[in-house]
Amino acid sequence: MFALFTLIRQKSPWIAILTMVAAAALLSSGVIMPAITVTSSVEGFRIINSGFPVVPVILITFALCFFIQQFGANILKFTIGPVMGIWFLLLAFTGVYHILL
C-alpha cells in the first residue's frame, strides 16, 4: 500500500488526496458493513415477535465472536461452515414446502 502511495505522491497532490479519501472510504465500509449486516439480520426477528430484544442479542453475538477469536479464527471457520449448511438446508426445505402447498 505504501509502495503505491509513493508512486501516487510523485503525481498531482489532488490525485493523492483523492486516493486517500477512497482508501478511507474502503476501510470504513469494511468496518461498518459487518455490524449493519448482523443488526439487520437480528432485527428481522421483530417481524415474528415485536418484543424481541434486538440490542442485547446483537451485543451478545459480537461479544461471542470476539471472545472466540482469541482462541484462533479456525474455531469460527469450522463452526460457521456447518451452521451455514444447516441454514441453506432449512431455506431449501421451506422453499420446497411453500412451492408444493
Give the residue extent of every domain in the chain: 1-53
| Residue at grid coordinates 469494511 | 30
Give the largest CA-CA distance in the chain.
Answer: 66
Q: Is the pLDDT of residue 44 over 60?
A: yes
Non-local CB neighbours of 45 within 8 Å, separated by 6+ positions: 52, 54, 57
Mean local confidence (pLDDT), 77-85: 85
* Cα(97)–Cα(34) distance, integer angstroms: 31
Share of the chain above pLDDT 70, in %: 93
* Cα(55)–Cα(42) distance, integer angstroms: 9
- Among 9-13, 36-40, 93-97, the range with the most confident prediction by mean pLDDT is 93-97
pTM value? 0.55
Mean local confidence (pLDDT), 77-101: 91
